[in-house]
Chain A
C-alpha cells in the first residue's frame, strides 16, 4: 500500500486483517512482529481483532489451541512460553478466549479467573508493610494500602494490569457470587481512583512525584477508563474522559489512538473517526510492524469496545 487511500473495505479490512493473517506463525500464535516467536499478548490481541468477524475460523482455532497450550497448571499464562512464570497477561488471555466463544475453553477461563483472584502483588511483603507505616504518600501521593494487580508476581500494582484484571473478572458471571472476587474488584477500583492524576487521566502508576503531578498518558488512561466504565458518571471519570477527549487530537502512535477510541466509545462517547489518521501513520512507518498496534487498530475500527465492556456478562 503506497498511499493512505483504501477501498470501501476500509483500513481494517484492507490492511489490518491481511497483515494479521499473513503474520500468524505456523504454531498458531503471533509474535510481536511478523516472523517473531509467538507470545501471549500479540496472540491474544490478534484473536480479539479477528474474532468479531469469524470467531470459529481455522486461524483462530489454531490461535486458541496455542493459547490453551501455553497455560500453566495453576491457570496463569506466562508472557512468553520461554519465560514460564505467571504474568499479567493471564486475564488478557482469558479475554481472548472469551471472545472466541468456544465452550472448550471454559475450564481454562475459569482457571485463569481463579488465578487472577488469588494472585497478589508484593505489597504484602513485610518491607512494604514497613514502608506503609512510614507512608510515602507525601512523596508519591498515593495510598500504599491499596492493592491492584502487578505485571509480574510479587512486585507492585500498576494501572494496566489492574485494569485488564478488572475487565476480565467482570465478564464472568460467577465472580458476582464470590466474596473474594468482589472484595478484590472493589480494591482494584479504589486503587485505580487513588492513582488518577489530579487533573484527570493516568500515568503508568504515580499521580504525583515529589509534589509534581504525573504525566497522564493516553494508553494508560484508556485502560483505566475501560475498567471503570460502569462509573462513567462519577466526577473522576468525567474529568478523565474530558482529559482524553481534550487531548485526543494530539495523540500519537496507532496503539494509543486505537485504545483511546475504544475507551471513549465504551464510555458512551460517539466513535471518533481515526481511520484516515491510522492509514496515514501506517504508510509513514507501518506501525513499526507491531502486531499489537495493527490488532488494536483493527479492533477499534471493527469491533468497538464489545468484549471490553464491563457489562458483557449481563448481555
Chain B
C-alpha cells in the first residue's frame, strides 16, 4: 500500500538524511553496477516486495533531454529485481501526450527493456481509488489515484533533472504529478494547476511519499523546462530515501537554492530535509558536480550566486 506511512514531523525531530551523488558521464556506461552499488548502501528492504518505478516521460524526445533516460530505467528495474523484488512495474501517466505508446515507441523503451506487456502500466488509464490527501496545502482534499501506485509496496520516483517554468525545478516530488490519472482529470491534469501547483505537489508528496528517488541528471534540462528547455550535461545520478533531501541536493547541483523553491521549503517543514546540515552526502560532493543552470527570469532569485551579492 503506497499511501505514505512516513510520519509528518518537523525537521528537528527527524534523523539526518542520506543522499548519494554518483558521477555518470553518459548513458553507455555500467549504470546497473552504479545503481546496484548505491542501492545496497541504503539497505532498502526490497526482498519479496512489489516495486513501482515512476520515471518522468513527457513527450517523444529521442534526444533524451525531456524524459528519464531508458538506460536509467533499465538499470533500476534490473537492480531491484536482483535485490529480490517480487515484481517491478514501470508506471507513468504523461501529462502532455495522451498516446503513451507513442512516447514509449519514440524513446525506444522496448529496445532497452524488452517487452513491456505485464511490466508497464499507463497510470493515466489504470483503475482508480479515491484517496484522502494527508495534508491540506491545496483545496483538493482527495484525489482518485491509480491502483498500480496504491498497491505497490515501494514507489520509486525517477525524475529527469530539469528547471520548470512554473515551479522552478521539477524533480522527484513534482514528478508525482504523473501519477494523477488523466482519465479522471484530463491532460495535462489541470485540476492540479488550478489548486496551485506548489501546494498540489506538497499534498501529493505527503500522501504518496516516494520510498526512494533516483534523479537522472546525466543529461538534464535548463531554461524553459520541462519541455522546451535546453540540454545541460550535468553528469550525475542522485539517489536517496528522503525525496525532499534528494530534490534539495539536486537543486544545489543545479546551482540553485532549494530553500527558495517554495514547495521544497514547505516540504522541508513536514516531510524531509532541505537544510544542507541535515543531509549526509555520499559519493561525490555537491561542489564537485555543481553547475549553473539557466532559469527563466521569474526564477532568477533561485540562483545561488545571488547569495553573495
Contact = CB atoms under 8 A, between A and B. Distances in A.
Interface of A: 31-33, 36-37, 39, 41, 79-80, 82-83, 87-88, 122, 150-152, 154-156, 158, 160-161, 203-205, 209-210, 212, 215, 217-220, 251-256, 281, 284-290, 292-293
Given A209-B165, A251-B102, A154 B194 contact: yes
Contacts of B202: none
A150 B190 contact: yes
B125 to A, nearest CB: 4
Contact of A88 (B59, B97, B186): B186
B198 interface: no
Interface of B: 59-60, 96-106, 110, 115-117, 120, 122, 125-128, 130, 144, 165, 183-188, 190-191, 193-194, 224, 227-228, 296
B291 to A, nearest CB: 22
19 contacts: A32-B125, A37-B127, A80-B184, A150-B190, A154-B194, A155-B191, A209-B227, A210-B165, A210-B296, A252-B60, A252-B99, A253-B100, A285-B104, A285-B115, A285-B117, A286-B117, A287-B101, A288-B117, A293-B101
B101 A254 contact: yes
A289 B117 contact: yes
Closest 6 CB pairs of A and B: A151-B186, A253-B102, A32-B125, A253-B99, A252-B105, A252-B102
Contact of A31 (B117, B127, B193, B224): B127
B224 A212 contact: yes
Contacts of A220: 98
Contacts of B183: 32, 39, 41, 79-80
Given A37-B127, A155-B190, A156-B194, A219 B224 contact: no
A193 to B, nearest CB: 21
A137 to B, nearest CB: 16
A209 B224 contact: yes
B120 A160 contact: no
